[in-house]
Copies of this chain bind each other. A is one copy, B any other.
Amino acid sequence: MLKGNSSYIQQINKRLVLECIINEESISRASISKKLSLSKPTVSSIVDQLLEDEWIYETGNGESPASGGRRPVNLKFNPQKGYIVGVDIGGTKVAIGITDLNGKVCEFTVFPTQQYEGDSIFNEIQLGVETLKKRLHLSDSKLLGMGVGIPGVINMASGLVIEAPALKWTNFPILEKLKERFDYPIFVDNDVNISVLGEHWKGIGQKRDNLVYIAIGTGIGSGIMINGELYRGRNFSAGEIGYMVTDRDYAKNYRPVFDGYGFLESVASGSSIGNELSKRIGKRVTAKDAFDLYLKKDKDAVTVIDFAIENLSLGIANYISILDPELIILGGGVSESYHVISDKVQSIIDRFTPKKCEVVQTAFGIEAGVIGAVALFLKEYDSIFDI
């Protein structure tokens, strides 16, 4: 806990005033004073500073009440006060975007992740960021910083990617690589962690503070938000739902095909569904193909996918029993077929959990990772503006 002094007091109150202005479409000094129980001179003084720093602006007068009185001056938050770069590095593509403080993606670009030496990818990112800056005519001073999402285990303190199988990185000094090319603050975290931050800020998880985001794709991983804060765990390994065991007997014969691959991933991920069905029908199919066949009631597809659904549902149910979250949000390639299986999933969950919990599919599209990466930055960056 920080010791208190006068400047600490003002920092607290300034954050409160700014948050108040953000939460209302527009608001007056008198209204802020009432809402926050701060005296009118105090509010006026703080508003003067926020106006000077361009966090807010005046938008003309409001209406005076029927009882009479001076018209209030309306104040509004200025989302163009600053911009943030969001970078989402995936196994197959890298997305880069620049957003304002409302999370509006002003510019966006994507390129395929190629099997370069690690450094070439950073040169490409640097080029992408410069391109987007030019399109927006952004000065350096307007850029507050950068958030980056990566599929792997990240140690935020040391700035190392401890392991990221999809990118073939181990103990990779990503923060150093990025700081060589960008001279503003940078924060890096796991991709499902930034996803739950993004859902909380601008997604389907808004206005709730205890969320779980589960990504079901080539792997299965999850991000956890508790009391409005990302929960990472002691070894930055919280949320490894892919490791969960839901079939004791079947798990006896389970052997990980590589390090960092868990039981639930081996039975319920997109790639394992595709692989298992391919084996059975003697033909190469993808997970999407598998779901299409499932809808056509193909016997093999039904067997493989029902087995996966049962394990996945139990994994989600176990999550609910342990965390009792407000909402579970599903993302990743397999979640796009969620409507196909949602009734069955919900039925299993309802049967094995103490309390009902809503499970929904993310509403975010291709820009999800960028918004999540920006949310990471805004959460970690020390400023009077917070999300």
Contact = CB atoms under 8 A, between A and B. Distances in A.
Interface string A200-234: 00000000001000000000001010110101111
Given A260-B354, A322-B239, A324-B238, A251 B314 contact: yes
A237 B355 contact: yes
A183 interface: no
Interface in A115-150: none
A8 interface: yes
B324 A233 contact: yes
Interface string A239-257: 1111111111111000000
Interface string A303-338: 000000011001001110111111000000000000
Nearest to A10: B4
A50 B57 CA distance: 46
A38 interface: yes
A266 to B, nearest CB: 11
Interface string A1-43: 1111110111111011000000000000000000011100000
A86 interface: no
B249 A247 contact: yes
A133 to B, nearest CB: 34
16 contacts: A1-B15, A3-B38, A4-B11, A210-B234, A226-B226, A234-B324, A234-B357, A238-B323, A241-B321, A243-B318, A245-B246, A247-B247, A248-B311, A251-B352, A262-B354, A318-B322
